[in-house]
Amino acid sequence: MKKEMWIGVAMCVFLSVAACIGSTGLGYADYRPLRNFDYFALGVSWLFLIVTIIKDRRSNKS
């Protein structure tokens, strides 16, 4: 994978961790379950990353 792809993976992981920390509070805040738009945002970011990785691999095989 290219450098840009690794940056995208790192950002998706960072957003996922940030959403989980924001949701659970890690003991410093009240627990708040993830809301629908949290799931949607995380799902869309991971979906587009997966699609981009698949497109990149297919273009490299040609």
Condensed to tens digits (0 to 9), the pLDDT of residues 6-40 reads: 888 888 888 888 877 777 777 677 777 777 877 88
Enumerate residues 6+ apart whose C-beta is below 8 A from 32. 22, 23, 25
Instruction: Report yes or no on whether pTM surpasses 0.75.
Output: no
Distance CA(6)–CA(14), nearest Å, equals 12
Who has greater pLDDT, 30 or 54?
A: 54
Check residues 50 and 29 and name the one with the higher pLDDT.
50
- E-strand stretches of 1-62: none
For the chain, the residue count is 62
Sequence-ordered list of residues with C-beta below 8 angstroms from that of 12, at least 6 positions apart, any chain: 45, 46, 49
pLDDT score of 62: 62
In this predicted structure, what is the pLDDT of residue 38?
A: 77
